[in-house]
Chain A
Amino acid sequence: MVVMGGKEIIQLDDVNFYYGECRALSNISMKFVKNKVTALIGPSGCGKSTLLRVLNRMNDLIDGTKVEGKIFFEGKNIYAPDVDPVEIRRKIGMVFQKPNPFPKTIYNNISYGPKLAGLGVEDMDTLVEQSLRQAVLWDEVKNILNKSAMNLSGGQQQRLCIARALAMKPDVLLMDEPTSALDPISTAKIEELIEALKKDYTIIIVTHNMQQAARISDETAFFYMGNLIEYNKTEKIFTNPDMKQTEDYITGRFG
């Protein structure tokens, strides 16, 4: 097991994951450190997105999948039989590859989660503003809160999705290639945002962009064929990796 400095928030203990007969993750054991940005990298189909979706039990929604092993979130196994996946997803937010705002107003996109959770939010307007400010979107949308979120640009939509996840006040934010569908300027905005958010949140991000991983993450994990090959400080991974496979991948020799 790879051990990192700092307080861990999520710990995987010998996790295997199957889509039907096909094993997508093999014996993954690792820890994610609180208030750090961890990047998951690796070639397509290596299991990094699967791993991300195992962490908030999104893979439960796909038929014929199976998880073995234990995943502890703040000390509690989230795959224990008495755990409600709905509760887990409220604490572990997720941002997807393609911006996916609801076809509702900007305001209702943000208030959707908190309302359902019955968080007893006294002042929804404040929560909406706060979440949008956190996602650095407030100034752009403050006058059109009652317009459809579908009218926003791709980059704005993605920041709205981040704001929507933040409105739930999660502990962890999972991001599945959040900038792959965006232009460089929007990407830069999201990267700045991630930098700012790690003060309050633990962020786990899947990315295909090596520079992005190097720029924004504190720790980096390299996956290949469903195995965790190397997991270390980002600086170490990108300057002096222990494994040859890692080096080959980040220097672009394969993948």
Chain B
Amino acid sequence: MNRRIKETVIKHAFFLFALVSVIVLGLIVLSLFREGLPVFKQVSLKDFVFGMEWYPTYDPPSFGIFPLIFGSFIVTLLATVIAVPLGVLAAIYISDITPRPAVRESLKSVIELLAGLPSVVLGFFGMVIVAPWLQETFDLPTGLNIINASVILAIMAIPTISSISEDALYSVPQEFKEASYALGATKFETITKVILPAALSGISTAVMLGMARSIGETMVVLMVAGGAAAIPESIFDSVRPMPASIAAEMGETPYGSSHYHALFAIGVVLFFLTLSFNLIADYVSHKFRQTGSATL
């Protein structure tokens, strides 16, 4: 085989490998829509998304997933509020404050280790340790609630936020930092006024990806969110986020029933949510690259 044929073969082989994931994704999306869309013969899109009642097994059933969407958003938002400061501050410490490479390296690997924890382990931790503690301390009917799920989700999102932010902070050119110090800025001023603004696009990407991770996470919310499909009144109420609903109900649903289609339709909604988080992350990271941080 001469060299040129070899090159061509290799090129096409790699193209095929690259194509596999695209095809798989395409097929999954296709089947998601095929199984999900039939529910809209029974219920309008508006009633589905904004309906307040999720009674899929009643007769007649009602498929309003707003409480589920609300549940997903509330735990995701709260998890983000907890995880962003922790993740970003940890990233700042690792990339710009710690003087010793040994500290830096060990902190980084511990945080990465946290990312490797299976979500069922974290869920278990939330169930047997956090929940009883919450229940006793705040005198609640159940410790499986929004705050519990948010804390556990935050623990899961921290590694994502921290490692991507750290990359962004680390890639701020040394010249900017030197320029700042040479003008008599302190380390704190340099971090807040030069490094953070320059890394803002990367940090926003990190936050969006962390949120995408939280909203799609299933096991944790299934185990610790409590599973009540109602709009919560406080952060100590239980909720039933979308992934938890799908995971809990799919096993007991007759194939092809409208409940079955409704669960797939929830999957479609979830798909669009994570997609939009990813698109926003992508947009933010491209828009502000290089020149854009100038306006900050």
User: Is B294's CB within 8 Å of the partner chain A?
Assistant: yes
| Contact yes or no, B189 A116, CB < 8 A | yes
* A116: B residues at CB distance < 8 A: 183-186, 189, 193
Per the bound structure, the CA–CA distance linking A98 and B175 in Å amounts to 8
* B293: A residues at CB distance < 8 A: 103-104
Segment 71-127 of B: residues with Cβ below 8 Å from A? 99
Segment 131-183 of A: residues with Cβ below 8 Å from B? 147-151, 161, 164-165, 168
Q: Which of B179, B183, B198 has the most CB of A within 10 A?
A: B183
Name which residue of chain B comes closest to A99, CB basis: B175
Name which residue of chain B comes closest to A113, CB basis: B183
Q: A96-B175, A102-B176, A148-B295 are in contact. Are A63 and B99 (CB under 8 A)?
A: yes
Per the bound structure, the CA–CA distance linking A161 and B176 in Å amounts to 11
Per the bound structure, the CA–CA distance linking A89 and B182 in Å amounts to 6
Give how many B residues have a beta carbon under 8 Å from the other chain's beta carbons. 24
Q: A96-B179, A164-B183 are in contact. Are A103 and B189 (CB under 8 A)?
A: no
User: Is A90's CB within 8 Å of the partner chain B?
Assistant: yes
User: Is B234's CB within 8 Å of the partner chain A?
Assistant: no
Name which residue of chain A comes closest to B175, CB basis: A100
Segment 192-209 of B: residues with Cβ below 8 Å from A? 193-194, 197-198
Contact with A165, one of B182, B193, B198 (Cβ below 8 angstroms): B182
Proximity string of chain B (276-296) to chain A, C-beta cutoff 8 Å, 1 when within and 0 when not = 000000000000001101111
Segment 43-86 of A: residues with Cβ below 8 Å from B? 56, 58, 61, 63, 86
Per the bound structure, the CA–CA distance linking A90 and B185 in Å amounts to 8
Report the tally of A-B residue pairs with Cβ distances under 8 A.
Answer: 81
What is the CB-to-nearest-CB distance from A170 to chain B, in angstroms, rounded to a whole number?
Answer: 9
Give how many A residues have a beta carbon under 8 Å from the other chain's beta carbons. 31
User: Is A186's CB within 8 Å of the partner chain B?
Assistant: no
Contact with A168, one of B175, B184, B194 (Cβ below 8 angstroms): B184
| Contact yes or no, A151 B291, CB < 8 A | yes
What is the CB-to-nearest-CB distance from B237 to chain A, in angstroms, rounded to a whole number?
Answer: 45
| Contact yes or no, B185 A113, CB < 8 A | yes
Per the bound structure, the CA–CA distance linking A102 and B291 in Å amounts to 10
Per the bound structure, the CA–CA distance linking A116 and B181 in Å amounts to 11
| Contact yes or no, A112 B176, CB < 8 A | no
User: Is B60's CB within 8 Å of the partner chain A?
Assistant: no
Contact with A102, one of B181, B186, B194, B290 (Cβ below 8 angstroms): B194
Name which residue of chain A comes closest to B182, CB basis: A94
Per the bound structure, the CA–CA distance linking A222 and B211 in Å amounts to 58
* B294: A residues at CB distance < 8 A: 103-105, 147-150
Q: Which of B182, B198, B290, B291 has the most CB of A within 10 A?
A: B182
User: Is B62's CB within 8 Å of the partner chain A?
Assistant: no
| Contact yes or no, A86 B185, CB < 8 A | yes
Per the bound structure, the CA–CA distance linking A151 and B291 in Å amounts to 8
Name which residue of chain A comes closest to B185, CB basis: A116
Q: Apart from A100-B173, A104-B197, A104-B295, list 7 A-B contacts with CB within 8 A.
A: A94-B182, A100-B178, A101-B179, A102-B194, A103-B197, A116-B183, A116-B186
* A-B CB proximity, top 8 nearest: A148-B294, A90-B184, A113-B183, A100-B175, A94-B182, A89-B184, A103-B293, A100-B179
A-B contact pairs, 18 of them (CB 8 A): A61-B181, A90-B184, A94-B182, A98-B175, A100-B176, A100-B179, A103-B176, A104-B197, A104-B294, A104-B295, A105-B294, A112-B185, A112-B193, A113-B185, A116-B186, A148-B295, A150-B290, A168-B183
